[in-house]
Every structure is written in C-alpha cells, then in structure tokens.
Structure 1
C-alpha cells in the first residue's frame, strides 16, 4: 500500500535530514519507504514493515511538513493513542489580513498563547504557515483544538486561558499530569 503526502518546499531538507539521516530514521522506526520528490514536495510512503506503525508514516511526514521537529513527529510511534491534528487557519479567515490577525491570536504576544497550550495540555503545538498542528493524546489534541477554535472565533484570551487551566486541572485529576507527552520535560 502506498500513500502520498505533499509538504512545503522549505521542509523537504528537514524531512531528509543531514545525509538522509532523518529519512532513514523514519523509514526504520515506522516500517516505511519514503520516495521524496524534492522538486514539488510530493512524498510517496510505502509500507514495508509493521502495518500498524506504517499507518503513522503519513502523519509523521505531514507533521514534519507542517513545522514539527522530526523528534516530535516520531513520538507518534511511541503510543498507539498518540495522534496528529491540523487546524486550517485559512478556513476561519475572511482574507489575508484576517488570517494574519487570527494567526497572531493563536501565537499570542511573544508566543505566549501557543506556549500555554503546550504547557497546560502536554501536547506539542506548532503554528506554521496557515495551520496550527498538534501532536498528543486524544484528550490533549481535543483541548488544544477547542482552545484554538475559541480564539479563532474571537473569544478573549483570558477566557481561553481559564478554559485551558480548567482542562489542565481535569487532566491532573485523571492522573494525566504531564508537561510534554510522554515523560514530561
């Protein structure tokens, strides 16, 4: 089985890595073979190993393409519940100027809003181009998605921070108190 993912031109080098090191790491850990067309950013992903791990191959490639460091993208293989989600900022914007404003709301002053999403959920959060990407467990991803959607809809930052704090406390009560999944940082 072969799947195709397209990534931005400026992320191809990150996907390949120095001397092809990152590409080989992905291939070995996920049980896939990557065929990267550096001209157009198209990546063919073919299963060659464990089918369960290979299913995460396209998400790993797409996560790297959307700005995640390879180490974070590879954590998708650490736990079968770990997932990658993408929020399209363009879909919530009326025009270029509105997209820039909404992207700024998600980033926050000096990156503080994005950092709080990470700190209070334990998920990895990256804003790249016109997308917000999340890697984490299902609950973590859902919390970040809901916080991002509230911000994109114009909710005040304070109310979104309060929502994140409330959800953080719920995660703690459930015994899911980790700073960065898994193991914390």
Structure 2
C-alpha cells in the first residue's frame, strides 16, 4: 500500500463524475483507492496483479500534477511508459524567479510547452511548481533536458534546435514511439 498526496483541487478530477474515473483506475490498474478529500491523501492498495498495480500510485500522482485521467492511464498501455516530475521550486531562488522560469517553460501562448510535447512525443503538463512528463524513457529524457536548458537560462531558439535534433534522431532510429494526442 502506498500513500500519495495530491492537491485538493485535483481530487474531483481523480474521482470523476459519479466516481467514474476512480472506478476506471481501480479496474484497469488493479488497485483500490481510498481518497481523503479533506487532506488530499490517497491510499493506493494493489488488489490484483502486483506488476500492473505498481502503476497505480503514478497514475494518481500524474492526475494530481495536472494530467487528464486518460493521459495518466497511458501509463498502463506499455511497459516503457514512465512518469517524471521536474520540481521548479528546486531550480528557483524565490517565488518571483519560479514564476519567471515557469513562464519561460510555458512560453508565449503555451508554445514552448507545446513544442516540447510535439517534438518529443511525450505528454507535458506544467502545474503549480512542477513540470510533469509521461512518455517513453527517451521522450522523457528529451523533455527533461530541454526543461533544464530553459531553467538554466538557455535561449528558446537553442532549446528548439535541440528538440528538433532529438526529434529527427528518434525518427531516424525508426522509433515507433507513442505520440500523445491530448
């Protein structure tokens, strides 16, 4: 059994209309969720296949970090799929610096975040003080590296060039990677 804490404003998304999302997660991930909507604490208990159940906590965390339930459930689709979180607070000197860095990651009209998603094939969400990624290892590494470049102050142009290069490398390898459509 694992305990996961998610923001209170994401509890409703985790439960879904009439408990629909919660039931789907329980059924597909072979877990039981015990949600404390007061504290945002979620107990995730494996009730079926322990290997499938390992994804339960990450699915809950992904929804808590801003992913739509259908994107979070992609973690069950393929053994290679993984969930990763970049803590923006850790990369910032103070709140003002974090807001600036978060703005750089999102980009004008969300363009930078979109390009990270399009060129890596991963799903990317910026929520609160985190940037979260769902994808295959190479896709996640690409987004993480691009995000770190931005957080370190690299110009957007060089980050976009890096993303283009990685995109072309993955295509050349004939990587039949999972492309999010979210």
Report the TM range for the smaller structure's normalisation.
over 0.9
For residue 132 of structure 2, what is the aligned residue in structure 1? 133
Question: Are positions 1:124 and 2:123 aligned together?
Answer: yes
Q: How far is 1:174 from its partner?
A: 1.0
For residue 33 of structure 2, what is the aligned residue in structure 1? 34
Gaps of 5+ in 2: none
For residue 85 of structure 2, what is the aligned residue in structure 1? 86
Q: How far is 1:176 from its partner?
A: 1.9
Q: Is the 8 A contact 1:121 1:179 kept in 2?
A: no
TM-score, with length taken from structure 2: 0.98
Three-state SS of the structure 1 residue aligned to 2:90 is helix
Question: Are positions 1:109 and 2:116 aligned together?
Answer: no
Aligned-residue RMSD, C-alpha: 1.1
Distance 1:77 1:113 in 2: 27
Distance 1:76 1:43 in 2: 18
Q: How far is 1:63 from its partner?
A: 0.1
Question: Are positions 1:15 and 2:14 aligned together?
Answer: yes
Distance 2:37 2:178 in 1: 36
Q: Deviations over 1:74-124 (max 9, x none)?
A: 000000110000000000100110000000000000000000000001100
Distance 1:16 1:177 in 2: 33
For residue 61 of structure 1, what is the aligned residue in structure 2? 60
Query: For the structure 1 residues 31 and 177, does the alpha-carbon distance in structure 2 shift closer, same or farther, using more than 3 Å as the test?
Result: closer
Q: Is the 8 A contact 1:5 1:58 kept in 2?
A: yes
Q: How far is 1:175 from its partner?
A: 1.1
Distance 2:175 2:155 in 1: 27
Q: How far is 1:3 from its partner?
A: 0.3
Q: Is the 8 A contact 1:120 1:179 kept in 2?
A: no
Three-state SS of the structure 1 residue aligned to 2:80 is coil
Q: How far is 1:179 from its partner?
A: 7.1
Gaps of 5+ in 1: none
Question: Are positions 1:157 and 2:156 aligned together?
Answer: yes
TM-score, with length taken from structure 1: 0.96
Query: For the structure 1 residues 171 and 78, does the alpha-carbon distance in structure 2 shift closer, same or farther, using more than 3 Å as the test?
Result: same
Three-state SS of the structure 2 residue aligned to 1:92 is coil
Distance 1:160 1:128 in 2: 21
